[in-house]
Structure 1
Amino acid sequence: MTLILLNKPFGVLCQFTEEKGGPPRPTLADFVKVPGVYPAGRLDTDSEGLLLLTDDGRLQARIADPRFKMPKTYLVQVEGEPDAAALDALRRGVQLKDGMTLPAEAKRIDDPALWPRDPPVRFRKSVPDCWISLTIREGRNRQVRRMTAAVGHPTLRLVRWQIGDWSLNGLPQGEWREG
């Protein structure tokens, strides 16, 4: 069994081939040259961080399938400064168009020591921002972004830091290691 931890950069498609008819964009094939592995779950093109790739279908299902409720922790730069009520709402679960989310672990954190993003996040002097750590056990489409927006704090930057026991600790952007 092969398991690869990749620190996916911003702007990279979470697949090994380009989208037909779309503009040329980097794909996983530009970073991982290991045959027969596939992503266990997804990260949007505009999200960064930990992506697990494996050749083991059962492990892939255990990681990606929401039935297994594997915790996924994100470092999220949000617009504004969430107060206790906003963080409590995330902890209780948030009503989205596709239903109520499961309760999340949410807390404010100091600015993490991350690699610079290319392109950088848009900075506005008149609008403060801060970082939160958010751990969810679902995997709905753009869930973290929709949750922070629902409590009044749109996401500016989204970095998946950990999936289960696997984390990005010590893994530079665009690099991978076996897990």
Structure 2
Amino acid sequence: MSNHDNERNHKLRPFTTPQLQFQTPGTDTTTENHHRTLSSTIARRPRGRPLGSKNKPRIPAIVTHDRPDALTSHVLEITTGSDVLKSLFNYTRRNGRGICILGGNGVVTYIKLRQPTGKVLTIKGKLQIHSISGTIFPPPTSGATGGLTVYLSGPKGRTFGGSVMSPMVASDSITLMVVSFANIAPEKISSMA
């Protein structure tokens, strides 16, 4: 072989990189154990996001707006000795909303009832309310009532019923379940298609 061939073989010799050694504090870099632990700690990272890093679910923001014509429920307590009808009219005037009475209970001591025949009954004594319902419109039509109806039982089991006229005096506190409303715009409907 010529000198030129030797030179060429020398140039074509494969290039190998020296073995890199990493030294971490508290470990011995000269042992073979180190190479095994080093190769096991350097591993490929898994693809994607790490566990637990997903976006947390957010609480939805709920914005509520009270519509003026929406129905709102209330529990009204009328105190002893008060005129129930007058208290309800004052409530509608003060809040600017009409009420629809769904039901209630309590005891009255004095009441005026208009019968379907037009006759007015005035009843005194402790009378238990079994059923009460009706509507009182909001201002400016306040004072107009769509008919407050009550059914009562007397001391000897007699029952009375009819449209309430003022006064209707509470013997104990009377609790009424009502819904209030503001919009009273009438809508005309017809039975014709």
TM over 0.5: no
Larger radius of gyration: 2
**Superposition TM-score, scaled by structure 2 size:** 0.23
Higher relative contact order (CA 8 A, sep 6+): 1
Superposition TM-score, scaled by structure 1 size:
0.24
